[in-house]
């Protein structure tokens, strides 16, 4: 067995993995190859899941959809849209980041990466919306967990573990997602020209209100050119707050935000169309569209973000000038690191910062060399790695599923 | 009542005295006298009782680590315990076990409004977290009915829910980080004040693991700002189907209520008598819908809900005009368990989750099972998230009635699984529903979960005999479970 195998259904997936298990042959798992994320995998077999595709059951009034894992995410979003529903974690289209154009990939791929958009800090991550799954483990056995209901504590919550496991524990075959009603209306309140520290303070102020902000991001003034929206002045830094709900309620809350930030002179409001466009561009990381450099995301306690920015992103005195933006109301920084520092010393410094401040870094785009030899996620506690290795073994005893994708040797 | 638990280890029992002496070298809080241990012999599932070798109440994470390391080296079973309010027997001691109570881990360590989180020790009660942040208008969202007594550590173990989980999620959606101790004494910190894990989501797997994977010693939860406005509406119906259709239509119209509860007639009468909530007594089914948000948003949604109710043949409706009135609407529902205790000497509380659209079917099935078994039943239902709590009434002085009530309960849960639901929504499997796991999972599913358990606890020393059938193969357990049906679903405390 070598080359690419494209099974039609779960039975064929199970048989292929069983045979590979018997033969000790590792497998790289792909669907549309839309996300070259994680460490490189060196193996002769590729399992392509694109044919295991289709909606199994969609129950709008029950707020769930059950799909085969190879289903294109864009198809699912269109089906949900027809019933004015969506996926609550605000799916991310990383096609722009990797290839300069839209490519959502498959629902299974997005699940394996636990990718969540700007609404994450309010509505939860992808893993919070995954109600259940069927998968094939590293021995070729079909396993399931969860169901179609929101409240469920029947056995271990394996959905959480498989979301974000990058295909290293099992091959997902069927997924059940909770769905949510689409917001009726939305507007975005924008403050201009804040420095990063002031922007982080503004996030903190807004998040302490009951205005239910559902998006809060910051673009520094050196990273706004790509925001080609009619109602945005892209010559200044942009601090944006999204408000969603019934129109009257949205407008009342925008008025409240205007009052709270009355001291700040330069501000504007993006109405529905422009607002939706702004957050789509933000969710899809379009500011890094087709970037040739390394791109990382750093998850931080919001109060540590201003300090992180001045050390690693932007500081006039220290002459630091990396392209970045901040999402999740200050909880997430996306940072581009220029290839001119081939040894990536900055990564080691960021890892050290993360260890001290209770945060972590994930490299979401890297060149082939770094993907082969470098780290993918920063895990400073060796005991977590030991536990991760045992968990990997409990699902995939011969380490044949995406070996080494998250950690070298695991 | 007999309950099959793992065979006690004779060597451990023979060495009890030396074990107690060794534990005293680690912790000054070791209870070994029978009357001291009596407090810990059961949890909220009080029909099963067993005293352990000793109860240890450590005061620091290091002490927990030392106790576990000692037990690991000496192959001694360990049962962790929070507040002991769990309804599924998850904290029932084993005869040859050391019970580790987190009762002395009772402090809130950090209230951080800027990062919108609280760091707490696991023995702190659920409601105390809200208590520590409400002066700034914040609260902790999951609100199980036992929130005044249950501990946050226990909430993580059973992934506790409450009445607001459709909109605000259950425990797993509201926990940011933990510190935990593995059975070999290794201390690990997961997550913290930031979002999402590095590598595998170990925090996600720990939540709802019922004390089988590690002992939790510190917890970081996220806190939310209270909504500007909250109103509730009472809606009465004459049939189960009308109520079920109304619930489905509210949801499919795009409204996500903060809470949506259903009670049937026996419970309407019992709770209204008990709490004087002002419920209509001439309806068969009562729905409470709570909506929150800005004032205008809530007013708009209330009107939409009332329109939907009218369309679905509601025979009664009333929207709260003040917060006092809203709280009165809830007063009856929240007293449901207590109110039922007044009219029946004993009852069993079940905890299945079902798809919302199956509500009518399930209520009708419960009614016909009630006739079949000759036992009365009252139903309350978290309609928003599909979590059903049928309360089966019986008299424990009559041994036959207890047996019938257990069989009735098992039949309800099997029916929940049959219509696409699950065995337990928020109480946990524990020992109560352990032998029904094979109704939902096949042998490969169970074996995978057991393999995962071994990744954390290779010797199976941590809380053994819980969650999974004691005989590891479903086929074998299926036989046991048919013959020994009497071991399931005992009565529950009234709190």
pLDDT digits (tens, 9 = 90+) for A378-410: 987 999 999 999 999 999 999 999 999 999 999
Mutation target for B interface from A140, A153, A200: give the one with most B CBs within 10 A: A153
Q: How confident is the model at residue A53 (pLDDT cuts 50, 70, 90)?
A: very high
Mean pLDDT within A268-294 = 95
B382: which chain A residues are within 8 Å (Cβ-Cβ)? 151
Whether the predicted pLDDT of A316 surpasses 70: yes
CATH 3.30.465.10 domain extents, chain A: 1-182+379-410
Q: Which CATH class is domain B10-101?
A: alpha beta
| Residue B108 backbone dihedrals phi, psi, to 5 degrees | -85, 125
Q: How confident is the model at residue B378 (pLDDT cuts 50, 70, 90)?
A: very high
Whether the predicted pLDDT of B212 surpasses 80: yes
Mean pLDDT within B203-224 = 98
SS3 A182: coil
What value does the mean pLDDT of chain B take? 91
**Are A246 and B296 within 8 A, CB to CB?**
yes
Mutation target for A interface from B142, B168, B196: give the one with most A CBs within 10 A: B196
**Are B115 and A180 within 8 A, CB to CB?**
no
Mutation target for A interface from B251, B448, B454, B474: give the one with most A CBs within 10 A: B448
CA–CA min distance A281, chain B (Å): 22
**Are B422 and A204 within 8 A, CB to CB?**
no
Q: B146-160, B298-312, B384-398, B449-463: lowest mean pLDDT where?
A: B384-398
Mean pLDDT within A196-206 = 97
C-alpha B34/C-alpha B363 separation (Å) is: 45
- In the block, residue with structure tokens 């004390």: B211
Whether the predicted pLDDT of B486 surpasses 80: no
Q: What is the CATH number of domain A185-283?
A: 3.30.70.2190
Q: A89-93, A341-345, A391-395, B394-398: lowest mean pLDDT where?
A: A341-345
Q: Are strands B54-56 and B97-101 parallel, antiparallel or unpaired?
A: parallel
**Which pLDDT value is given to residue B495?**
22
Q: How confident is the model at residue B477 (pLDDT cuts 50, 70, 90)?
A: very low
**Which pLDDT value is given to residue B479?**
35
Mean pLDDT within A115-144 = 97
Mean pLDDT within B44-59 = 93
The runs of H, that is alpha helices, within B74-173 are 126-133, 152-158, 165-168
CA–CA min distance A138, chain B (Å): 11
Mean pLDDT within A319-341 = 90
Q: Which of residues 334-353 of A touch B (CB under 8 A)?
A: none
**Are A301 and B205 within 8 A, CB to CB?**
no
More confident site: A121 or B471: A121
Say which residues have a Cβ less than 8 Å from residue B290's Cβ, sequence separation at least 6: B163, B164, B230, B231, B232, B257, B258, B259, B260, B326, B330
Whether the predicted pLDDT of B480 surpasses 70: no
pLDDT digits (tens, 9 = 90+) for A212-238: 999 999 999 989 988 989 899 999 999
C-alpha B31/C-alpha B401 separation (Å) is: 37
Whether the predicted pLDDT of B485 surpasses 70: no
B393-418: string of b/e by CB count within 10 Å (b at 16+)? bbeeeeeebbebbbbbbbebbebbbe
B88: which chain A residues are within 8 Å (Cβ-Cβ)? none
Q: A184-193, A292-301, B358-367: lowest mean pLDDT where?
A: B358-367
Q: A291-300, A339-348, B34-43, B392-401: lowest mean pLDDT where?
A: A339-348
Whether the predicted pLDDT of B190 surpasses 60: yes
**Which pLDDT value is given to residue B360?**
84
**Are A388 and B199 within 8 A, CB to CB?**
yes
Q: Which of residues 114-173 of A touch B (CB under 8 A)?
A: 114, 116, 120-121, 124-125, 127-128, 137, 141-145, 147-161, 163-165, 169
**Are B385 and A358 within 8 A, CB to CB?**
no
Whether the predicted pLDDT of B484 surpasses 50: no
pLDDT digits (tens, 9 = 90+) for A136-190: 999 999 999 999 998 899 999 999 999 999 999 999 999 999 999 999 999 999 9
pLDDT digits (tens, 9 = 90+) for B89-103: 999 999 999 999 999
- How many residues does this entry show for chain B? 495
Please give the residue of chain A at the shortest CA–CA distance from B416.
A149
**Are B182 and A303 within 8 A, CB to CB?**
no
CATH 3.30.70.2190 domain extents, chain A: 185-283
A303: which chain B residues are within 8 Å (Cβ-Cβ)? 112, 114-115, 193
pLDDT digits (tens, 9 = 90+) for A55-85: 999 999 899 999 999 999 999 999 999 999 9
Residue ranges per domain, chain B? 10-101, 108-225, 229-338
**Are A245 and B297 within 8 A, CB to CB?**
yes
What value does the mean pLDDT of chain A take? 95
Q: Which of residues 86-125 of A touch B (CB under 8 A)?
A: 114, 116, 120-121, 124-125
C-alpha B321/C-alpha B118 separation (Å) is: 33
Say which residues have a Cβ less than 8 Å from residue A344's Cβ, sequence separation at least 6: A294, A337, A370, A374
Long-range contacts of A275-279 (CB under 8 A, 24+ apart): A275/A186, A275/A187, A275/A188, A275/A242, A276/A186, A277/A229, A278/A188, A278/A227, A278/A229, A278/A232, A278/A240, A279/A90, A279/A117, A279/A118, A279/A186, A279/A188, A279/A215, A279/A242
C-alpha B375/C-alpha B457 separation (Å) is: 42
**Which pLDDT value is given to residue B483?**
28
Q: How confident is the model at residue A341 (pLDDT cuts 50, 70, 90)?
A: low
**Are B424 and A154 within 8 A, CB to CB?**
yes
CATH 3.30.465.10 assigned to domain B108-225? The reply is yes
**Which pLDDT value is given to residue B339?**
87
Mean pLDDT within A343-372 = 91
Mutation target for B interface from A119, A137, A155, A350: give the one with most B CBs within 10 A: A155
CA–CA min distance B45, chain A (Å): 17
Show the 3-state SS of B70-82.
HHHHCCCEEEEEC
3.30.465.10, 3.40.50.300, 3.10.20.30, 3.20.20.70: CATH of A1-182+379-410 = 3.30.465.10
Say which residues have a Cβ less than 8 Å from residue A45's Cβ, sequence separation at least 6: A1, A2, A3, A4, A5, A20, A25, A26, A27, A28
Q: Which fold has domain B229-338?
A: Alpha-Beta Plaits (3.30.70)
C-alpha B114/C-alpha B203 separation (Å) is: 23
CA–CA min distance A71, chain B (Å): 23
Mutation target for B interface from A151, A210, A330, A410: give the one with most B CBs within 10 A: A151
pLDDT digits (tens, 9 = 90+) for B121-167: 999 999 999 999 999 999 999 999 889 999 999 999 999 998 888 89
Mean pLDDT within B222-250 = 94
**Are B227 and A245 within 8 A, CB to CB?**
no
**Are A62 and B172 within 8 A, CB to CB?**
no
C-alpha B449/C-alpha B446 separation (Å) is: 5
Please give the residue of chain B at the shortest CA–CA distance from A391.
B455
Question: Quick check: A317 contacting B, CB < 8 Å?
Answer: no
**Which pLDDT value is given to residue B338?**
82
**Are A62 and B228 within 8 A, CB to CB?**
no
Whether the predicted pLDDT of A340 surpasses 80: no
Q: Which CATH class is domain A286-378?
A: alpha beta
Whether the predicted pLDDT of B474 surpasses 60: no
């Amino acid at each position: 067995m070598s080359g690419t195998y494209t099974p039609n259904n779960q039975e064929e997936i199970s048989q292929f993995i069983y045979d590979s298990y018997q033969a000790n042959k590792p497998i790289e798992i792909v669907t549309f190859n839309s996300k070259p994320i994680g460490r490189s995998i060196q193996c002769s077999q590729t399992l392509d899941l694109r044919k295991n595709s289709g909606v199994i059951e969609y129950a709008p009034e029950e707020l769930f959809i059950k799909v085969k894992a190879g289903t294109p995410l864009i198809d699912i979003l269109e089906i949900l849209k027809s019933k004015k529903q969506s996926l609550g974690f605000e799916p991310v289209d990383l096609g722009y980041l990797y290839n300069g154009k839209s490519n959502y990939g498959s629902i299974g791929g997005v699940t394996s990466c636990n990718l969540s958009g700007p609404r994450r800090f309010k509505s939860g991550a992808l893993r919070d919306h995954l109600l259940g799954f069927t998968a094939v483990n590293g021995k070729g056995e079909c396993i399931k967990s969860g169901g179609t209901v929101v409240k469920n504590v029947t056995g271990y919550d394996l959905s959480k573990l498989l979301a974000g496991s990058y295909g290293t524990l099992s091959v997902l075959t069927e997924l059940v997602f909770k769905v949510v009603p689409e917001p009726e209306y939305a507007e975005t309140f924008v403050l201009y020209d804040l420095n990063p520290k002031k922007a982080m303070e503004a996030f903190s102020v807004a998040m302490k209100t009951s205005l239910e902000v559902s998006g809060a991001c910051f673009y520094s003034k050196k990273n706004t050119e790509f925001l080609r929206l009619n109602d945005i002045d892209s010559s200044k830094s942009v601090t944006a707050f999204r408000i969603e709900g019934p129109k009257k309620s949205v407008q009342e809350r925008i008025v409240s935000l205007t009052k709270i930030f009355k001291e700040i002179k330069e501000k504007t409001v993006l109405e529905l169309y422009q607002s939706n466009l702004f957050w789509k561009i933000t969710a899809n990381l379009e500011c890094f569209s087709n970037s040739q450099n390394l791109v990382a995301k750093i998850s931080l306690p919001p109060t540590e973000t201003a300090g992180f920015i001045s050390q690693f992103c932007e500081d006039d005195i220290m002459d630091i000038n990396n392209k970045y933006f901040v999402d999740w109301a200050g909880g997430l920084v996306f940072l581009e690191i220029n290839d001119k520092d081939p040894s990536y010393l900055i990564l080691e410094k960021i890892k050290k910062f993360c260890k001290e401040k209770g945060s972590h870094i994930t490299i979401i785009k890297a060149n082939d060399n770094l993907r082969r030899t470098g780290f993918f996620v920063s895990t400073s506690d060796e005991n977590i790695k030991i536990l991760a290795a045992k968990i990997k073994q409990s699902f995939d005893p011969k380490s044949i599923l995406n070996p080494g994708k998250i950690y070298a040797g695991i | 009542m007999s309950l099959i638990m793992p065979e006690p280890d004779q060597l451990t029992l023979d060495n009890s005295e030396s074990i107690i002496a060794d534990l005293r070298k680690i912790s000054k809080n070791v209870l070994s006298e029978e009357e001291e241990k009596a407090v810990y012999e059961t949890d909220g599932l009080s029909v099963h009782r067993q005293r352990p070798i000793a109860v240890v109440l450590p005061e620091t994470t290091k002490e927990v680590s030392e106790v576990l390391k000692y037990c690991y080296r000496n192959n001694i079973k360990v049962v962790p315990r929070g507040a002991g309010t769990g309804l599924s027997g998850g904290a029932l001691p084993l005869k040859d076990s050391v019970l580790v109570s987190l009762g002395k881990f009772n402090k809130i360590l950090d209230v951080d409004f800027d990062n919108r989180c609280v760091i707490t020790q696991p023995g702190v009660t659920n409601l105390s977290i809200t208590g520590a942040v409400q002066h700034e208008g914040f609260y902790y969202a999951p609100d199980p009915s036992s929130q005044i007594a249950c501990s946050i550590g226990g909430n993580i173990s059973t992934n506790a829910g409450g009445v607001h989980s459709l909109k605000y999620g259950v425990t797993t959606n509201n926990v940011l980080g933990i510190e935990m101790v593995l059975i070999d004494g290794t201390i690990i910190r997961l997550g913290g004040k930031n979002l999402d894990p590095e590598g595998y989501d170990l925090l996600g797997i720990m939540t709802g693991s019922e004390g089988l994977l590690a002992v939790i010693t510190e917890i970081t939860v996220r806190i939310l700002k209270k909504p500007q406005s909250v109103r509730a509406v009472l809606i009465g119906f004459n049939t189960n189907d009308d109520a079920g259709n109304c619930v489905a239509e509210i949801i499919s119209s795009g409204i996500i209520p903060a809470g949506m509860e259903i009670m049937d007639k026996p419970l309407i009468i019992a709770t209204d008598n008990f709490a004087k909530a002002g419920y209509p007594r001439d309806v068969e089914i009562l729905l409470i819908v709570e909506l929150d948000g800005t004032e205008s948003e809530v007013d708009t949604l209330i009107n939409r809900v009332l329109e939907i109710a009218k369309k679905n043949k509601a025979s009664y409706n009333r929207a709260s005009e003040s917060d006092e009135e809203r709280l009165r609407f809830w007063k009856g529902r929240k007293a449901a368990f207590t109110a039922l205790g007044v009219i029946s000497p004993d009852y069993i509380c079940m905890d299945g989750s079902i798809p919302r659209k199956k509500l009518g079917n399930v209520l009708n099935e419960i009614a016909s099972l009630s006739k079949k078994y000759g036992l009365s039943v009252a139903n309350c239902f978290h309609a928003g998230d599909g979590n059903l709590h049928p309360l089966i009434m019986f008299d424990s002085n009559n041994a036959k009635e207890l047996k019938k009530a257990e069989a009735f309960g098992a039949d309800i849960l099997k029916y929940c699984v049959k219509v696409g639901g699950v065995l337990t929504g928020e109480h946990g499997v524990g020992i109560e529903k352990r032998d029904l796991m094979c109704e939902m999972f096949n042998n490969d599913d169970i074996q995978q979960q057991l393999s995962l358990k071994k990744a954390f606890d290779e010797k199976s020393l941590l809380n053994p005999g819980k969650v999974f059938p004691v005989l590891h193969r479903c086929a074998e357990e299926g036989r046991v479970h048919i013959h020994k049906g009497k071991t399931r679903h005992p009565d529950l405390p009234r709190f």
